[in-house]
């Protein structure tokens, strides 16, 4: 597995994800951090974006999923994002952290979150 990482952190959006009717109606603020494990040697050697994972494209893909159909659980949202990234970019694995700010019933907590790690399925 490659030891290089492409990092896109602090992708912010407002979404209607959640278990409670209030969360789904009013929405909450979220933040997503992404790590894509990939080999960056070709991009480093060529200095050509065509040989790299485009950070802006990663950002757009995360927001496409995050602003899509609502999930009840952060686990489901993080998994959707991770699988979409693996389907869109040449990474061996991905780590996705989703933070929900001002979680309901936790007034003294800044955020609650989930982190998932997914690897590309082996092809035969």
Query: What is the distance, to the nearest Å, from the Cα of residue 47 to the centroid of all Cα atoms in its chain?
Result: 26
| 89: nearest Cα among 67, 120, 115 | 120
Mean pLDDT in residue range 71-99: 97
- The single residue of 100, 103, 110, 123 carrying the catalytic annotation is 100
Q: Report the mean per-residue pLDDT for the chain.
A: 94
| Domain layout of the chain by residue ranges | 5-119
| Residue ranges of E strands in 4-110 | 5-15, 28-37, 93-101
pLDDT at 123: 65
Band (pLDDT 50/70/90 cuts) for residue 3 is confident
Residue 71, class by beta-carbon neighbours within 10 Å (0-12 exposed, 13-18 middle, 19+ buried)? buried
Told to judge if 99 belongs to the known catalytic residues of this protein, a careful annotator would answer no
CATH of domain 5-119: 3.30.1130.10
Mean pLDDT in residue range 18-34: 93
* Residues 30-83 pLDDT 10s: 999 999 999 999 999 999 999 999 999 999 999 999 999 999 999 999 999 999
pLDDT: which is higher, 103 or 92: 92
What is the C-alpha to C-alpha distance for residues 86 and 88, in angstroms, rounded to an integer? Answer: 5
What is the C-alpha to C-alpha distance for residues 10 and 30, in angstroms, rounded to an integer? Answer: 9
């Amino acid at each position: 597995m490659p030891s290089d990482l492409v990092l896109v952190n602090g992708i912010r959006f407002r979404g209607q994800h959640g278990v409670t009717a209030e969360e789904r109606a009013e929405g909450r603020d979220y933040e997503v951090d992404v790590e894509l494990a990939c080999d960056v040697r070709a991009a480093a050697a060529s200095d050509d974006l065509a040989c790299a994972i485009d950070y802006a494209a990663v950002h757009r893909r995360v927001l496409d999923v995050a602003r899509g159909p609502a999930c009840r659980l952060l686990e489901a949202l993080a998994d959707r994002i991770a699988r979409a990234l693996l389907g869109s970019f040449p990474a061996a694995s991905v780590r996705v952290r989703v933070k929900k700010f001002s979680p309901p019933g936790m007034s003294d907590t800044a955020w609650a979150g989930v982190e998932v790690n997914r690897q590309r399925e082996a092809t035969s």
